[in-house]
Amino acid sequence: MASSRDVTLRGARAQYFRANGIDDDGGYDRKWVRIKLGPVPVVFPNTPGRRAALLPHDLHHVATGYDTTLVGEAEIGAWELASGCRNYYAAWILNLGAVVTGLFLAPRRVARAFERGRQSTNLYHLGIDAAWPEETVGGLRQRLGLDAPGGESRRP
């Protein structure tokens, strides 16, 4: 998912939700999460730890351009692991599962995403303040170090 650098994060996140068939509210308050692993639906509780990681995770998708396919989730998982999930334990666990899957499906892409993450930071470290909706995608990319040499998108 590519967002224009001048679009606000509010607008880019709304576009990301629409493009990926996600409800306007992101499903942040749902009690259960339903995802598909290929043709297999998986349902698990939307724990407080997962809920806390959702907004940073969604904004990471917007900033990095990784999509929500199995490979895209493996890429964002590798990027988040490499840049550090801090005390977001649900992110560590879910990202590890995504990366293991991605290593079978697209090992080079996952490795590139991991290397990209080692050269940048993320919102688990920087935090998110109340003004986030008005920040631009370009501003977030800059704060995360995604515009630095080695931080640029290396998508196929």
Contacts of 28 (CB under 8 A, 6+ apart): 51, 54, 55
Residue among 108, 114, 102 nearest 38 (CA): 102
Tokens of 153: 């998108």
Residue among 116, 19, 140, 112 nearest 69 (CA): 19
DSSP string, 105-149: H-HHHHHHHHHHHHT---HHHH---TTGGGSBHHHHHHHHTTTST
Instruction: Say whether pLDDT at 153 is over 70.
Output: no
Give pLDDT tens digits for 136-150: 999 999 999 998 765
- Quick one: how far is CA 129 from the chain centroid? 18
> How many CB atoms are located within 10 Å of the residue 10 CB?
12
Tokens of 144: 């995360």
Largest CA distance in the chain: 41
Give pLDDT tens digits for 36-78: 877 889 999 999 999 999 999 999 999 999 999 999 999 999 9
Q: Please report where in the chains the tokens 């550090």 appear, as a residue.
A: 84
Give pLDDT tens digits for 77-108: 999 999 999 999 999 999 999 999 999 999 99
Tokens of 38: 């290929």
Give the global pTM.
0.91
